[in-house]
Structure 1
Amino acid sequence: MSKEFLLEETQIDIVVSYLRNILQDRDCIVILRGDLASGKTTLVKYFVKSLGLEDIVNSPTFSLQVVYGDNIFHYDLYNKSLEEFIALGMLEEFEKSGLHFVEWGNSKLENILCDYGFDVLVIDILKKDDKRLYKIYE
Structure 2
Amino acid sequence: MSLVYEEVCDLAHLPALVTKIKEALGDSGVLLLRGNLASGKTAFVKAFATLLGLKEAISSPTFSILQEYDGKLFHYDIYQCGVEGFVQSGLMEKFESDGYHLVEWGGAEFEKLLQHYGVPYSTLDITPLPSQRHYKVTIHAYA
- Of all paired residues, the percent bearing the same amino acid is 37
Give structure 1 regions of 4+ aligned residues with deviation exceeding 4 angstroms: none
- CA deviation digits over 1:106-137, x for unaligned, max 9? 11111221232222010000001111001011
2:18 is aligned to: 16
Name stretches of at least 5 consecutive residues in structure 2 with no aligned partner.
none
CA shift at 1:54, angstroms?
0.3
Q: Which residue of 1 aligns with 2:31?
A: 30
Amino acid at match of 1:60: P
Looking at structure 2, the residues matched to 53 and 93 of structure 1 have their Cα atoms a distance apart, in angstroms, of: 19
User: Which whole-Å deviations, capped at 9, do the CAs of 1:17-68 have from their partners, x for residues lacking one?
Assistant: 1012112223x11100001111100001011111111011000001111011
User: Equivalent residue for 1:4?
Assistant: 6
TM-score where L is the length of structure 1? 0.93
Q: 1:82 matched to which residue of 2?
A: 83
Cα RMSD after superposing both structures:
1.1
Amino acid at match of 2:17: V
Q: CA deviation at 1:104?
A: 0.6
Alpha-carbon separation, structure 2, partners of 1:67 and 1:18:
22
Q: How does 1:98-109 map to 2 (within 5 A)?
A: 98-109=99-110
Whole-angstrom CA distance in 1 between matches of 2:69 and 2:25: 16
What SS does structure 1 have at the residue aligned with 2:102?
A: strand
Distance 1:112 1:34 in 2: 19
Aligned counterparts, 1:1-138, within 5 A = 1-26=3-28, 28-138=29-139
Deviation at 1:75, TM superposition (A): 0.5
**Alignment partners' CA distance in 2, 1:115 and 1:4:** 28
* Equivalent-residue separation in structure 2 for 1:136 and 1:12 (angstroms): 13
Instruction: Give the C-alpha shift of residue 97 in structure 1.
Output: 1.7
The Cα of 1:9 is off from its aligned counterpart by: 1.5
For structure 1, the 5+ residue unaligned runs are none
